[in-house]
Structure 1
Amino acid sequence: MQWNDEGYLLSKNNYSENSVIIEVFTLNHGKCSGIVYGGTSRKIKNYLQLGNKIYVNLKTKNENKLGYFKIEIIDPISPFFFDDNKKINCLFSSLNLLKIVLPELQSYNSIYILFSNFLNELKFSNNWIVHYIFWEMNLLKKIGFDMNLPSNYVEASYNKKKIITVNIDNENINVPSFIVDKKFYNIDTKSIYYALTFIGKFLKKNVLIPNNLNYPISRIKLENYFR
């Protein structure tokens, strides 16, 4: 079996002295893994920065065996954020979530496009963290965990924090109003933190704990930046 595709590098691990195993989220083939010969060489190693967009050519004898990738760089994304700890942790958090929640070799074109759009906001938008929050919510919705916040609305408290109470799984929970109103601008730091922790708890309860998965360290670091 052989195919070509584009995708984002989710993870990499040493395989041998000269090779690495990479995991890529591709446009047409979903999440897949393969071996890159020469992956430890200086040239290819520079391509294999987490989050980079790469062109991949996969060859494998069958779908049940690990194949071999040939790669080319399309867009070196991660170097944009090397000097920004918040953004690089945000990038790593998004990559870890995709790695955790997506099954192998199932196409998710809409999630791929959603992620591509988010990366553009991460690069160029001043309110990138708000876009990240809505990206997480949309990702959860697309894999079957829609919070239905507007329909679960209970009451609002229009104080300085603008807190709204929603009912999820028969539990009343206070959340910042901007994630219900889908507001992108003039969001204070505390509201960002409350939104991140709320979504984090939802993710842990509905996805991570039932599947015995660990909470991504990069996601914890991201929350702490806004504490």
Structure 2
Amino acid sequence: MHLRAEAIILSVRAHGEHGAIVRAFTENDGVQPGYVRGGHGRTLRPVLQPANLVHGEWRSRTEDALPGLTVELLHSRAAMFSEALPAAAFQWATALSAFALPEGLPYPRLYSALDGVLAAIEAAPAARGWAVALVRYELLLLAELGFGLDLEHCAATGRNDDLAYVSPKSGIAVSRLGAEGYENRLLRLPRFLVEGGEAGWGYILDGLKLTGHFLERDVLIGKGAELLAARARLVDRLKRAVA
């Protein structure tokens, strides 16, 4: 195996005294693991920061062996980890991707979306500038993994107008008319997921609750307890930021 590509660092795990096992997300070859010699040392630790963009080179003699990985930093976001809210967002987005995506399968739309989310977190002066993008990324990840929501028509009436809720069981949208009498059993569907554009905090938090429900049910099954706790902390920070 020999692969050279730009990649987003998703996760880093110390291995041995100085090495590290890294999972990095490439545009055309998906998530690729690799062993970085000295990756847990002082020199490479700032480079191997989740959310950083690197140029990676993976080499192995056989298909089954964990390849060796060398990295060159292209863009660092390490400075943003000194700010609690952006740091929590970086950690959640990269950890979710590392956990959910199978190795070696291309997800170019997800790569582009994650790159956009991380750039927005870095550049936006306030969280509302990137929170919408984060919700859309989670929704896209669900769809790319085969758990997409149907937000095009009402599960009860079949119509495509005035969609305001989502069934927590089927993942299909429900109109206000179709939801009458059952509103408290349904998840609210924020307008920006149907109409596009920006959103106020109420809609953003509704969106996070919506995607969070399906991520917990369909993706973060069994082994996702730590991830769900990290996401809960992020949502709590967002709520406190706008309180």
Fold equivalence (TM over 0.5): yes
In which range does the TM-score fall when normalised by the shorter chain? 0.7 to 0.9
**1:168-210 residue CA offsets vs partner (Å, 9 max, x unmatched):** 535851314324434443502x43223212211111112222x
Partner of 2:210: 198
What are the equivalent positions in structure 2 for 1:19-168 lying under 5 Å apart?
Answer: 19-79=19-79, 81-125=80-124, 126=126, 127-152=129-154, 164-168=164-168
Partner of 2:12: 12
**1:223 is aligned to 2:228:** no
**1:93-142 residue CA offsets vs partner (Å, 9 max, x unmatched):** 11111112211111222211121122222222342111111111112112
Runs of 4+ in structure 1 off by over 6 angstroms are: none
Residues 1:39 and 1:123: Cα distance change in structure 2 (over 3 Å):
same
Q: CA RMSD in A?
A: 2.3
Deviation at 1:222, TM superposition (A): 1.2
TM-score between the two structures when normalised by the length of structure 2: 0.80
Residues 1:177 and 1:108: Cα distance change in structure 2 (over 3 Å):
closer
**1:145-182 residue CA offsets vs partner (Å, 9 max, x unmatched):** 21112324669xxxxxx992233535851314324434
Amino acid across the alignment from 2:34? G
Q: Indicate conservation of the 8 Å contact 1:154/1:167, yes or no.
A: no
Q: Indicate conservation of the 8 Å contact 2:24/2:32, yes or no.
A: yes
Partner of 1:158: none
Residues 1:153 and 1:184: Cα distance change in structure 2 (over 3 Å):
farther
* Secondary structure class of the residue paired with 1:24: strand
Structure 1, gaps ≥5 residues long: 156-161
Query: If each structure's strand is expressed as a fraction of its own residues, which one has the higher value?
Result: 1
Percent identity between matched residues is 22
> How many residues are paired up?
217
Q: Indicate conservation of the 8 Å contact 1:166/1:174, yes or no.
A: yes
Q: Indicate conservation of the 8 Å contact 1:90/1:218, yes or no.
A: no
How far apart in 1 are the matches of 2:28 and 2:196?
32
Amino acid across the alignment from 1:149? L
